[in-house]
Amino acid sequence: MATGSAKPRKEIAVMALVALLLLFAIVLAVMQFNNLRDLRALVEEEKMAVTQARATLNQRLEHRDNVAEYEERIRVLQLLIPQAPREDQVLSYFDFLSAEHELNVQQISFGGREENAEAGYVRMPLTITIEGRYQNLVNFLAHLYDGDRAVRVDSVAMTLAETPGAQANIRVSISAGVFYSSN
């Protein structure tokens, strides 16, 4: 009888051991599945990081290839807004423009400086009075808009010039500002 009851106990112990092994295998499989899922998410993150790094590299390579263009832009901007006031250059610039557009400069006067520390520039207000034909004045103003120096025209006042014996000319008083860097 002892052998008969030992056999079912042995079978129960073996079945319990098999069930435990099966449970252990299931737990291991679930853990491996979770690890695999985490690794796949990590691989996707790394792929996105590599894609972003490639895009950044391509952008930097493009910037490197465009260095000459960027340096030319800086040079042009420094001409538009130089490092110093250079009033003599402003006067020469307006003399050149007036001669180019067949206008007579009557007066140029500078006002007080207005510094804009946030933007990094100083504005030099000026008033210029010139006389000439209407179309020449229009061309002069258009040249100021696309010129070699940053000029902001604040107002334009026109009157008929009273020059005896001359063709009908217009006198224009322009309030404007030219700029230089405050850095």
Q: What is the pLDDT along the chain (183 residues), one digit of tens a residue?
A: 455 577 888 888 889 999 999 999 999 999 999 999 999 999 999 999 999 999 999 999 999 999 899 888 877 776 667 676 778 888 888 899 999 999 988 899 988 888 877 777 888 899 999 998 889 999 998 988 887 788 889 999 998 877 666 666 889 999 998 888 776
* Under 8 Å between Cβ of 111 and 126: yes
Residue pair 125/176 in contact by the 8 Å Cβ criterion: yes
pLDDT of residue 167: 67
Residue 39 CA to residue 6 CA, distance in Å, equals: 48
Please give the pLDDT value at position 163.
Answer: 65
pTM of the model: 0.54
The residues, ordered by sequence, that sit 6+ positions from 148 with a Cβ below 8 Å of its Cβ are 79, 80, 93
Q: What pLDDT is recorded for position 126?
A: 92
Task: State the pLDDT at residue 8.
Answer: 84
pLDDT at 73: 81
Calculate the alpha carbon distances from 149 to 107, 146, 178, 182 in Å.
Answer: 19, 8, 8, 16
Residue pair 69/138 in contact by the 8 Å Cβ criterion: no
The beta strand positions in 71-161, using DSSP E, are 104-110, 114-116, 121-132, 151-160
Cα 49 to Cα 46: distance, rounded to the nearest angstrom: 5
The confidence score (pLDDT) of residue 2 equals 53
